[in-house]
Structure 1
Amino acid sequence: MSITRFVKPEGLPAFLAHLSKEARVLAPVVKPADKRSVIFEPWKEGKEFTLEKATVPAKAAVLPQCETLVSYRKVKDPANPQNVKLELDDTPQAETTVVFAARPCDARGYATLDRPYLQGPIADPYYKARREKLTVITLTCNSGCNTCFCHWVGGGPSSPEGSDILMTELKDGYILQGITPKGDALLEGSGLDDGADRFKEMEDVRKAAWGTLVKAPNLKDAPAKVAAKFTDVDFWTRETDRCLSCGACTYFCPTCYCFNITDEGEATSEKGGRRLRSWDNCMSSLFTREASGHNTRVEKALRMRNRVSHKFSTYPENWGTFSCNGCGRCISNCPVSLDIRQIVLDAINADKAAK
């Protein structure tokens, strides 16, 4: 049996305080605005936090919205000013981090990003440095909701993939279960009460959560069916007719990883400059515009085709699993309620509809 610990609700702040002594703790906090949201922010003692599902996943813990890949400047040799060299610093920016109260779909997002960033021909050193210093504490879901479809794509309310610790809400507190050696080590040094006697209760709660889910359709044919529709522009035009190309679906997604590279500063002077990697949005009309001005995806239908095909066809072709984790954020945050589930089902059932 894995290591388990138990904590009452009123003990959570002390637990976070313990974690924050050794790491940056990212916890979900409420942001009251015109549209209320929940985001992950660095936590410190006395700061309010929530256990609600975050509006925005903590993807930035491993893939920041903007990061410096390398800084550079020209440096003169004091003994010989005519001798000038370019000084580079490409040290990854990484700090020990704990993501607290992510959801299983968010944690699976890290596993999804791990494949291209760590398991490809070349591991990304910046991503790798942050991932190795990351510990993920995931709050399992006690019920499904109408926009979540994690169980469609291989996940579920208590999926352990990508998590180091699974935390489950019981009637009088929370039981924390170590999933990885990193998670076990954290729990061993936490000072929390042993939770072995609550293990059966934890399993019952998780089983009940699975019971709230509606039956999932079989998506085994999705990669082939979506690929078969790739050249059917009329299909994608119909499916995305009301899309605004705002990009909300990509920015709220825990698995999208498109980025842009830009340089800023004065590379030829002593002031120097830096090379930045920033999130980019494949739904933007500028995403595929070339230096010549030519754009291979002028129409929004072709851009959505690329996004859906990557998640349900090309990523599975390369890595054997979907890159969509069913968190439902692209549905709940879409201003026109475009539903990626329906697009995939329509592609699967297109042959039947044509008869």
Structure 2
Amino acid sequence: MQRILTIIGARPQFIKASVVSRTIKKTDGIEEIMLHTGQHFDANMSDIFFNQLGIPKPDIQLDIHGGNHGVMTGRMLAEIEQGILEYKPDRVLVYGDTNSTLAGALAAAKLHVPVAHVEAGLRSFNMRMPEEINRILTDQISDMLFCPTDTAVRNLDKEGFASKPVNVLQVGDVMQDAALFFAQRAVAPRDFIVNRNFVLGTLHRAENTDDPERLTAIISALNHVHQSVAPVVLPLHPRTRAAIDKAGLSLEVNVIDPVGYFEMVWLLNHCSLVLTDSGGVQKEAFFFGKACITMRDQTEWVELISAGANHLVGANQEEIIAHSSTHFGRAIEDHQHLYGGGNAAERIVEHLV
């Protein structure tokens, strides 16, 4: 029996882990131990992300959240190391590019436990992003690299992984597995009042919210789109709301409270355009056939740009408005199965076994 220690800590990781964990449960010869660092935590975490998504309740709950990157990652490193020593896994499985990902991979590598990295090979080529540092370092100390796209494989080849004693495997994207599986459970946000075609927006990335000039341009563009193209629905995190208030900006769109995964899936499935600075939402828009306007200067999902499904506009107010008008209501089709078609979890577990 092979024992896998899965390390998660952020909301997108719960969703990714849910489809892999469900497949592990159906597979002989493999046992999963779940460690939750607590990086993203709220009072409803267990009900929303464990019961509804069907993720096993964590065997180890660290409750580490808040603080600067160094403090958080250091605490995680020490606590995860103790979990590895206690449970003695044959392999550690990490997801994505968070502090939890890097701490888990580093703790395992120091104890000579092999590391498998889901979403390996993604690159934005922006070293100012903490996520970019986390993903690069995690890839370097993993021996099993599960890539979601051909582009990710090419990125690793360019970094010399083809000549290293590691397995680089193109398995598809587990987020497509999750989107297709959970779409049937999606529900509208509570008190949702927009009953016609709408633009779904998200805004949270520090490069936008912490830069007053960029934030001003984006808010002005969102207000204009709301007035001239279609209603903009914006689930808004308190941190972003505080940044908008601090900058003295007026947000004239339909602001709603942050939503859970099922509500977000519903919004993605029913909107007519997506405006975002999120990495995951770019893909999810594609999974549901919606055009996406990305308010960033780079993206890890370059294949979406090549396919014409996604458009990078940075914080350029004029481009945000122009692309929103051009692509509103445009249907996107996945003829090439860019992300594996929804079978990534099965491929990952096959390789783990």
Mark yes or no: TM-score above 0.5.
Answer: no
Q: Which has the higher helix share?
A: 2
